[in-house]
Structure 1
Amino acid sequence: MPIALKKFGMNPAQSSSIVLTTITDIAGFMSFLGIALLLSDMLPRN
């Protein structure tokens, strides 16, 4: 990751924490939606 950030002219020390936080937030949200989708099949339907 630092090599790619250096190519774009960004400071790797500052930018990597922002990128990693974004990636973990997206992964957490997607896993939340995945669990909700699996559990929604258990709900009774009218």
Structure 2
Amino acid sequence: MIANEFGARGIRANSIAAGGVADAPMSGGGMAIPAMRQLYMREIPL
């Protein structure tokens, strides 16, 4: 996403998404439940 936005200006972006992404469409339901969010946060060491 960042590379698409800034690539036209000659700005490069590299990243590694280790673990879940909080706003990913497939995780929206679970992240809205506080107990599930805490579980995810414990399991993903970031």
TM-score normalized with structure 2 length: 0.31
More helix per residue: 1 or 2? 1
